[in-house]
Amino acid sequence: MKDNNNIEDFFKHSLEGFNDVPSDQVWKNIDGELGNSSNIWKRNLLGFLSVSLGIALLCLACYSYNLKQELNTKIDQLNSSQHTINTYHSENLSLNKEVKLLNQEINEIKVSDENANIKKIVPASTEQYTSSQNTRSHNKTIYDINQSRNFNENINLHAINDSVDSNFTDASILTDEANSRQNYAESLDRENSKLAISELRKTRTQITIPEKSASQLTKDKKLKFLNPNLTFNGIESANYSTGNIKYGLTGSILGTGTEVTSGLNPGFSAGLEMEMKLYKQLWFTTDLRFNRNNYVMEFMGVNPQQESDFPTPRTLSATFNNVDVQNSYFDFPVGLSYNIALGKNNVFFVNPGFSWQFYLPQKFIYNTVENDRVLYSEERYFVYFGSAFLNIGVERKISKNNIFQLGLWAEKGLEDYGIENRNIMNYGLKVSLLFTN
């Protein structure tokens, strides 16, 4: 009988609290855990959008300032050249008028000279002289008069000749000066045409040059033989061309994936980019970027081996649901880009390559079943070589010295990264604003 009582007491004690339900605090912990998982994604997305907006605004400001400076410089050069040409054109017109006046004076002097050389015939005397003495005296008087007249005429003739020679000398000096100014104006026109041709080879964009006077139309025809694409109303281009070096800002929106995660896992990268032309359509590319990515590993249903790969903090005694891994690192990718022209201002490019990574200390955020968040980090740095990447996209020239690139970018790790030894793949959209010489 006593044994039966003991058994009954045992069952009663065992069934105590059998019908109890979880307390409100337990349900709050579960609800907070679920909400916490979604908040992580929202915080990452908000940070990613903020950084992307900042990069976009910086690129837009750089482009606007550079475009404004370029337009102001071009307008000043064209206005200065046109003013100089107009000045020399007006001076040439005034010199031509002076030469015409001098030629008119020379012609008048020649006419007066011819009139001065006409002999003056003295009429013979009608008087009859009865004596030879009177005849000799009369002839002597006529001779003296003729001698005096010839002497005066010779003096006047020498003075006229000296005046003509002086005027001819002045006219020759003015003519030489006019020719010199005309040659300088033509040389200035040739320099302007060479400048326009060099701009054509660099930019292949439309440049408007102010119209010139009708007296310069003949020079325009000569320039047609130098370059058929060159006109005084603009420069036409048919091929895409840039300088030999391109440099500027780059940024990307990326997602991160591993063998134990799913979802987008957003991140970003930003830095500097440079490209150097090797041969025709082949370019060498390199970047220096700062990257930030993260992924969340859920431990529901994960085997113990995968869970043991993560460095669990010693202070963590409770069971955790997931780990948020946050990575910050610098990478140095190098590659080759093959460009295919698609018209005046567009290029399609394929850019494969390899990358080195320098990892900063990682952060691990453990979310426990008790709704606690435990941050764990180790002061450990890693260097990897590293990963292979492929960037495919289009390039467009948006001004004389500015280039915009948009590409689809993917990167696959060649080894395992970090303390937890995960093979990571990044993928996303890459944007670059480059400047060229």
pLDDT in tens, 403-433: 999 999 999 988 888 877 778 889 999 999 9
Residue-wise pLDDT tens digits, 324-360 = 888 999 999 999 999 999 888 899 999 999 999 999 9
Q: Tell me what pLDDT residue 315 has.
A: 55
- Range of 307-311, 381-385, 409-413 with top mean pLDDT: 409-413
Q: Tell me what pLDDT residue 350 has.
A: 96
Q: Tell me what pLDDT residue 231 has.
A: 42
Which of the 8 DSSP states describes residue 214? Answer: G
Other C-beta atoms within 10 Å of 282: how many?
Answer: 11
pLDDT at 158 exceeding the cut of 60: yes
Strand pairing report for 346-359 and 382-397:
antiparallel
Q: Which helix (H) or strand (E) holds 158?
A: helix 132-203
**Termini Cα distance of the chain:** 105
Q: Tell me what pLDDT residue 126 has.
A: 46
CATH of domain 242-436: 2.40.160.20
Q: How far is the C-alpha of 161 from the C-alpha of 216, rounded, in Å? A: 39
The SS3 call for residue 342 is: coil
Q: Is the dihedral of CA 313, 315, 318, 323 positive or negative?
A: negative
Q: DSSP labels for 27-43?
A: HHHHHHHHHHHHHHHHH
Give the contacts of 217 (CB within 8 A, at least 6 positions apart): none
Least reliable range by pLDDT among 2-6, 17-21, 271-275: 17-21
User: Locate tokens 């500097």: which residue?
Assistant: 272
Q: Tell me what pLDDT residue 378 has.
A: 78
CA angle 328, 331, 332 (to 5 degrees): 170
pLDDT classification of 246: cutoffs 50, 70, 90? very high
Span 279-299, average pLDDT: 89
Q: Tell me what pLDDT residue 76 has.
A: 82
Q: Tell me what pLDDT residue 435 has.
A: 93
pTM attached to this predicted model: 0.47
Return the closest-CA partner of residue 332 out of 357, 361, 359.
357
Other C-beta atoms within 10 Å of 374: how many?
Answer: 16
pLDDT at 302 exceeding the cut of 50: no
How distant, in Å, are the alpha carbons of 298, 312, 316, 405 from that of 306? 11, 12, 18, 40
Which of the 8 DSSP states describes residue 417? Answer: B
**Helical spans, DSSP H, in 284-357:** 304-308
Q: Tell me what pLDDT residue 181 has.
A: 72
Higher pLDDT, 225 or 240: 240
Q: Tell me what pLDDT residue 64 has.
A: 74
Domain spans of the chain, in order of start: 25-120+135-195, 242-436
Higher pLDDT, 121 or 158: 158
One-letter amino acid of 178: A
Q: How far is the C-alpha of 3 from the C-alpha of 7, rounded, in Å? A: 6
Q: Tell me what pLDDT residue 236 has.
A: 37
Average pLDDT of every residue of the chain: 73
pLDDT at 167 exceeding the cut of 80: no
Q: Tell me what pLDDT residue 14 has.
A: 59
pLDDT at 174 exceeding the cut of 70: no
How distant, in Å, are the alpha carbons of 135, 361, 374 from that of 314? 159, 18, 11
Q: How far is the C-alpha of 265 from the C-alpha of 47, rounded, in Å? A: 12
Higher pLDDT, 286 or 204: 286
Burial label, 217 (beta-carbon count in 10 A; 0-12, 13-18, 19+)? exposed
Q: Tell me what pLDDT residue 318 has.
A: 58
pLDDT classification of 153: cutoffs 50, 70, 90? low
Q: Tell me what pLDDT residue 238 has.
A: 44
pLDDT at 122 exceeding the cut of 50: no
Give the contacts of 282 (CB within 8 A, at least 6 positions apart): 336, 337, 338, 339
Return the closest-CA partner of residue 258 out of 305, 227, 298.
298
Q: Tell me what pLDDT residue 313 has.
A: 60
Span 214-236, average pLDDT: 48
CA torsion, ordered 174, 180, 185, 190, to nearest 10 deg: 160
Span 3-15, average pLDDT: 63
Q: How far is the C-alpha of 419 from the C-alpha of 292, rounded, in Å? A: 16
Span 267-274, average pLDDT: 94
Q: Tell me what pLDDT residue 235 has.
A: 38
